[in-house]
Amino acid sequence: MKDFWDERYREPEYAYGTKPNQFFAHALKELNPHGKIFLPAEGEGRNAVFAASLGLEVVAFDISEEGKRKAEALAADNFVDINYTVGNLNQLKLEPESFDVIGLIYAHFETYIKVAYHNQFISLLKPGGFVIFEAFSKNHIKFQKLNPHAGGPKNVDMLFSIEDMHKLFAGLETITLVEKLIDLEEGKYHNGKASVIRYIGQKPVE
């Protein structure tokens, strides 16, 4: 997978554009959190740069060196700082309950690490902290067959359902959880009709 993403991000244009995901941007403005945000599978940095522009301290990771290169270039162009690491989650050595927000925007992980990663994400969230999530639903498969630029993994187990969300984020209080048909306009590779899951959850304050 690393080779795939390095090749995609090596292209001169930004694969998914330079503007933040609309749902992510709207949620951050509405919630108006402060402190630190964690962005797994951050790619070329469009959401990280937006979060930093709002004054959040950004920590991001991805498996792609090319993604990091373009993310840091985008951050420099926008005069913000981001902390971006290449590797996997277990290499980051992050402290439990150290983030005020976790943004999971089209963060589709291989089946063998999907559940473990989401458990770790919840452990990294402070009490009262938020998860903001948008990703392709299992019903998106049919749109992939119609449109080569619809985006998303071809492996249905890497996609999400409402039932999956209840299981993956069982420890959080649900604020928003919907499956929705949208028109994606995010660069070259997220374009056209898409079935997505949108979710906002909050970690209970004990």
According to DSSP, residue 109 is labeled: -
For residue 176, the model assigns a pLDDT of 98
**Domain of 20: which CATH number?**
3.40.50.150
The number of distinct structural domains making up the chain is: 1
Separation in Å, CA 172 to CA 24, 38, 158, 176, 180: 18, 17, 21, 11, 21
Question: Could you list the residue range(s) of the whole structural domain that residue 162 is in?
Answer: 2-202
pLDDT of residue 90: 85
How many CA atoms lie within 13 Å of 1's alpha carbon, on the beta-carbon side? 10
- Provide φ and ψ at 11, rounded to 5°: -60, 145
CA triple 31-33-34, angle to 5 deg: 165
CB count, 10 Å around CB of 182? Answer: 14
Tens-digit pLDDT profile for the chain (206 aa)?
899 999 999 999 999 999 999 999 999 999 999 999 999 999 999 999 999 999 999 999 999 999 999 999 999 999 999 999 999 898 888 999 999 999 999 999 999 999 999 999 999 999 999 999 999 999 999 998 888 788 899 999 999 999 999 999 999 999 999 999 999 999 999 999 999 999 999 999 97
Q: What is the pLDDT of residue 65?
A: 96
**What's the CA gap between 130 and 172, in Å, rounded?**
9
Instruction: Render pLDDT for 14-48 as a digit per residue (tens, 0 to 9).
Output: 999 999 999 999 999 999 999 999 999 999 999 99
Beta pairing, strands 190-202 & 99-105: unpaired
pLDDT digits (tens, 9 = 90+) for 45-66: 999 999 999 999 999 999 999 9
Contact 62, 5 (CB under 8 A): yes
Q: Determine contact, residues 138/161, Cβ cutoff 8 Å.
A: yes
Residue 194 has a pLDDT of 94
Please tell me the predicted confidence (pLDDT) of residue 201. Answer: 98
